[in-house]
Amino acid sequence: MFGLLKKTIGVCLVGIGLGILLVLLLPITGWLFLIGIAVLIIGAMWLFC
């Protein structure tokens, strides 16, 4: 159970970090594409960790 909680927190932290990078670095027009990529990466990390 603790391992699942730890993994969930890790995924949340990755998501928060990507969100901050999106806010700081990217123009509005690139958001949808990059959010899609971020979601795919986070989903892959969730499945393969």
Report pLDDT digits (tens) over 1-49. 677 778 887 887 888 887 777 777 767 667 777 778 888 888 888 777 7
Nearest CA-CA partner of 22 in 33, 12, 13, 7? 33
Q: What is the per-residue pLDDT for 1? A: 62
Radius of gyration of the chain (CA): 12
Residues in the chain: 49
Q: How far apart are CA 44 and CA 46, in angstroms?
A: 5
Q: What is the per-residue pLDDT for 14? A: 81
CA-based angle 6:48:39, to the nearest 5? 80
